[in-house]
Structure 1
């Protein structure tokens, strides 16, 4: 528990000021987020939770794409949630919580979600496999976890891969090279593919 509290404090400190320019700067390298949103294929009244919702950028885009969906957001950083609340207003229900252990009934008043989104959040969560398993645990029947994050950059120049990872480490971000294998292990029905020559990974895990 202390480790998780420390991670929350670290995220608050990291993004205390970064949150103010986050959306402007991240649009150039958090690639594949709109691809994920399009693939959610939400019907009216369905629920979607973004774990690690940050500034609320994705939830705002989801609301525009699926105006009749019910939106929820979870983040461990109160600093990020401050920005998300200002951006989303009443458009989403937001709560502070740990991606590896949260209770939807307590935080949101629902017992499961039709879609759960992990968009460039697994690369920031120390126990990222635990977060993936926790997300799947909170799917409603027929639900899906949709993931986009940094890939292994296998088809990109080595200098680019090294430079990217060195720069990302400054923000406590680490690409998860084992994402594809972990997705296959956690879901009975899953898909995984790379985007942009391995720059990003996209995955879907369905509830068994």
Structure 2
């Protein structure tokens, strides 16, 4: 990894060295919309799915169970999180269908990591708000899609229909974990749609607490 990526990897390892053991138990209360996104992946029969910023592997395990004839891949910059993810995958008996790799989501080559360069579905769950230069992650996710594929994103929204005090408290708390909601997400996605010819659908969830976006490649 280059210096900036190595520094970010070290930061994430430090943040999650202990948190990874309680991550899934605690995050279910506020990482809202993840299961809705997984349900809507609509993975084709024997399709391939890539998660960028796979963390503990929680989403990959659920998605692999939901789509039992698909093959899954995940990457993350944190070796600590990947250790938890690998253990979760093996415990679920999915080691033959889920492949993990350590990589920076803003600069990766899927063929080098997984032996394939195109995926029917790519998804990013509450990771863009933690990735410096996350717009590059969106671009690489789109570029990794097979024809007719779709990129799914769920993350924090602008909380525009929630009380101002709630928004302030939430964002101050998230900042302690190096999380910064992407208020420019729609602009980034629209720009990438112009670049690639993809179409965009974007829904606000829970009064703006979260957003769910889908970009389709024709």
Q: Is the pair's TM-score, using the shorter chain for normalization, greater than 0.5?
A: yes
Q: Which residue of 2 aligns with 1:155?
A: 161
Query: Does 1:186 pair with 2:192?
Result: yes
Spell out structure 1 runs of 4+ moving beyond 2 A: none
Query: Does 1:202 pair with 2:203?
Result: no
Q: Which residue of 1 aligns with 2:54?
A: 53
Q: TM-score, structure 2 length as denominator?
A: 0.94
1:183–1:192 contact (8 Å) kept in structure 2: no
Distance 1:138 1:165 in 2: 31
Aligned partner of 2:147 among 136, 141, 146: 141
Query: Does 1:71 pair with 2:77?
Result: no
Distance 1:13 1:124 in 2: 14
2:128–2:155 contact (8 Å) kept in structure 1: yes
Larger deviation, residues 111-120 vs 183-192: 183-192
Q: Which residue of 2 aligns with 1:17?
A: 18
2:44–2:120 contact (8 Å) kept in structure 1: no
State the 1:111 CA deviation.
1.5
Q: Which residue of 1 aligns with 2:98?
A: 92
Distance 1:52 1:104 in 2: 13
Could you give the per-residue CA deviations for residues 80-119 of structure 1, whole angstroms, max 9, x where no partner exists?
Answer: 0000000002041000001111111110011111100100
Distance 2:125 2:49 in 1: 13
Over the aligned positions, Cα root-mean-square deviation in angstroms equals 0.8
Say how many residue pairs are matched.
Answer: 208
Q: TM-score, structure 1 length as denominator?
A: 0.98
State the 1:63 CA deviation.
1.0
Distance 1:12 1:45 in 2: 34
Q: Which residue of 1 aligns with 2:45?
A: 44
Structure 2: tracts of 5 or more residues without a match = none
State the 1:28 CA deviation.
0.1
Distance 1:193 1:181 in 2: 14
Structure 1: tracts of 5 or more residues without a match = none
